[in-house]
Chain A
Amino acid sequence: MMTNNPEYAIEVIDIQKSFGSVAALRGVSLFAKPGEVTAIVGDNGAGKSTLIKCIAGVYTADAGEIHIAGKKVHFTTPEESREFGIETVYQTLGLIEDLTIWQNLFLNREKMKCIGPFKILNKKAMRLESAQMLKNLDVYIPSIKGRVRGLSGGQRQAVAICRAAGWGSKVVIMDEPTAALGVRETAKVEDLISRMKEQGLAILLISHNFDQVLRLADQVWVMRQGNVMAGMRAKDTSGDELVALITGASAGKK
């Protein structure tokens, strides 16, 4: 069984969550290491989304523990989870189309400066730092003063990911980051994920795309009906094995 290991960026132990009589998570345990992409795969209804929402603080688990870098944590809101360095990029991205890129990057974390008794936005500092945030991950966007409305799907994804990665965060959760993207944009986002990995972030990746999982991930967890069926290194598995585990054709090894 898993132990409380400080080498894990995040570790969940025996998480359970029910909605009324429906048990969405029946005791899920898994971990993610820093500097690695950890993929969670599973069929619809396997509990992936519920699990990441428990980690992101959207839901509070009924039972079980969450450890960050070996320390047990407890949170009940997304803000609290964020304070522990956990950021989530949802499929909806959470960007405001009519705001500029820098406004989105700093939404609810605005930099302020004092002018007399007033605290006002430090726009210049936010623009400079926004440019730096994008540059750190080699994301090219024509102008950070532009509005998100004018960006392509891939650029939006990149902005949302940069926002998640740019706040001293330790764990970045991504829910189907390339589901809505074309081939070239998918490749760019995958590059971006690799760079985040090099910077030492732990990335929790939810994906239905087995090729992508095998390409990007270091560790793979397979979920089925609210349980973890198997966890293995990505290099030791194959698409066929994953399909067998997801559908239940193979019983799995814990």
Chain B
Amino acid sequence: MKLSPKSSTSSAQAGEVETSTLNKVRLATKDPFFWSNWIVVIAFILVVLVFGALKPHSFLTMYNLNNILVASSIPAIIVVGQTFAVATAGIDLSISSIMTFGAVVYGIAFTNGSSWWVAGIAGTIAGTLCGFLNGLIIAKRKISDFIVTLGMLSVAAGFALVISNGVPRQIVSNSLSNLAIGGFGGIPYLMVIAFVITVAAHFFLFNTRFGTHILATGGDPDAARSMGVNIDLVKIVVYSISGTLAGFAAMLTISRIGAAEPAANTSLLLNSVAAVVLGGVSLFGGRGTIFGPFVATLLLQALTNGLTVVGVAAYYQYVSIGLVVILSAALVRTK
């Protein structure tokens, strides 16, 4: 190595720059956050590639991809609320029941002459109230999130049956059904709405003071309280958000099926928890993203859809989704 002093220093500098970028990549891959954030994206791409290779002419069609987006949109809205609850180290087991309750309130408002969007506001407010009650009881009575929302699961489902007499109501509204059918630049309206909510939630969690307090409350409630964070308020707001989104999603569900049904869709709850875990949100709170669970929701719908396309019986689909969730949780945990 016969280099003049000048060139040796410059090459040394170049070397430093190189190692620092290399180090950055190495550090990033060592960070557990990196894996929990990106594993779901990799898994999603894998699922699309595998099913695309197996059935390119039925899975990878515009029609089918559109189906996946439409099917993902309501779960994607629900999962935002669940992500907030889990980020505070809680869980909202009542979201699917609140959604049913919201749907029934929608049906009553609509059949009593309200326009489609006024009924939507009524259903959403009904959801907000349920969520607010959840949060209030959790924060003020210091009862575990699990128990309170489990109770609300039953209470909201019960009230939905009581006020509807257990009878579904048909909802005929062109504007509403147009919401489910139409699209914006090839993207279904429902997915556009879900995406806007997701982006807004991301902004709220990572760019506002309250968002930081949500993460702080989930990470270490005692430390957060000692710094003056109002952790009761955090709990109340988080569950109110979750309830509001469930009430709002009720309207979108009605737009798809054309009826307000008092029956709870339990797979929605299961899928929301699954997507949160898959999306790399820590069940111990304080850590997570909004986009992780969003991609995880797409992944779960693509998986269900793909299994149907390749002809796997519906019963096995439950098994496979459960296995994917457990597997991904195990992977993230060991990293």
The chain A residues found within 8 Å of chain B, CB to CB, are 78-79, 82, 90, 92-99, 103, 107-108, 110, 112, 119-121, 123, 147
Whether the Cβ atoms of B208 and A96 lie closer than 8 Å is no
Produce 1/0 per residue, B199-221, CB < 8 A to A.
00001001111001101101110
Q: In the complex, which residues of chain B have a beta carbon less than 8 angstroms from the beta carbon of A108?
A: 213, 227-229
Whether the Cβ atoms of B208 and A120 lie closer than 8 Å is yes
Pairs A–B under 8 Å by Cβ, sample size 23: A78-B226, A82-B228, A92-B223, A94-B222, A94-B223, A94-B227, A95-B223, A96-B219, A96-B220, A96-B223, A96-B286, A97-B220, A98-B218, A98-B219, A103-B216, A107-B212, A107-B224, A108-B213, A108-B228, A110-B209, A121-B207, A121-B209, A147-B33
Q: In whole Å, how far is A53's beta carbon from the nearest beta carbon of chain B? A: 11
Q: In the complex, which residues of chain B have a beta carbon less than 8 angstroms from the beta carbon of A95?
A: 220, 223
A98-B223 contact, Cβ under 8 Å, with A108-B229, A110-B209: no
B287 on the interface (CB 8 Å rule)?
Answer: yes
Question: Which of B206-264 touch A at CB < 8 Å?
Answer: 206-209, 212-213, 215-216, 218-220, 222-224, 226-229
B282 on the interface (CB 8 Å rule)?
Answer: yes
A98-B282 contact, Cβ under 8 Å, with A121-B207, A121-B212: yes
Whether the Cβ atoms of B208 and A107 lie closer than 8 Å is no
**CA gap between A90 and B220 in the complex, in Å:** 15
A98-B222 contact, Cβ under 8 Å, with A78-B228, A119-B208: no
Q: In whole Å, how far is A110's beta carbon from the nearest beta carbon of chain B? A: 5
A93-B228 contact, Cβ under 8 Å, with A110-B209, A110-B212, A121-B212: no
**CA gap between A3 and B216 in the complex, in Å:** 43
**CA gap between A97 and B224 in the complex, in Å:** 11
Produce 1/0 per residue, B19-41, CB < 8 A to A.
00000000000000100000000
Q: In whole Å, how far is B293's beta carbon from the nearest beta carbon of chain A? A: 17
**CA gap between A120 and B203 in the complex, in Å:** 9
Whether the Cβ atoms of A99 and B209 lie closer than 8 Å is no
A103-B222 contact, Cβ under 8 Å, with A98-B287, A108-B229, A120-B207: no
A92-B222 contact, Cβ under 8 Å, with A99-B215, A121-B209: yes
**CA gap between A123 and B203 in the complex, in Å:** 13
**CA gap between A41 and B54 in the complex, in Å:** 74
Whether the Cβ atoms of B227 and A107 lie closer than 8 Å is yes
Q: In the complex, which residues of chain B have a beta carbon less than 8 angstroms from the beta carbon of A96?
A: 215-216, 219-220, 223-224, 286
**CA gap between A90 and B227 in the complex, in Å:** 11
Whether the Cβ atoms of B216 and A107 lie closer than 8 Å is yes
**CA gap between A123 and B209 in the complex, in Å:** 11
A99-B286 contact, Cβ under 8 Å, with A121-B209, A121-B212: yes
Q: In the complex, which residues of chain A have a beta carbon less than 8 angstroms from the beta carbon of B224?
A: 96, 107
Known: A96-B219, A97-B220. 11 other contacts (CB 8 A): A94-B223, A96-B223, A96-B286, A98-B218, A98-B286, A99-B216, A103-B216, A107-B216, A108-B227, A119-B209, A121-B212
A99-B212 contact, Cβ under 8 Å, with A78-B226, A108-B228: yes
Q: In the complex, which residues of chain A have a beta carbon less than 8 angstroms from the beta carbon of B287?
A: 98
Q: In the complex, which residues of chain B have a beta carbon less than 8 angstroms from the beta carbon of A110?
A: 209, 212
Nearest B-chain residue to A123, judged by Cβ: B207
Whether the Cβ atoms of B212 and A103 lie closer than 8 Å is yes
**CA gap between A119 and B204 in the complex, in Å:** 11
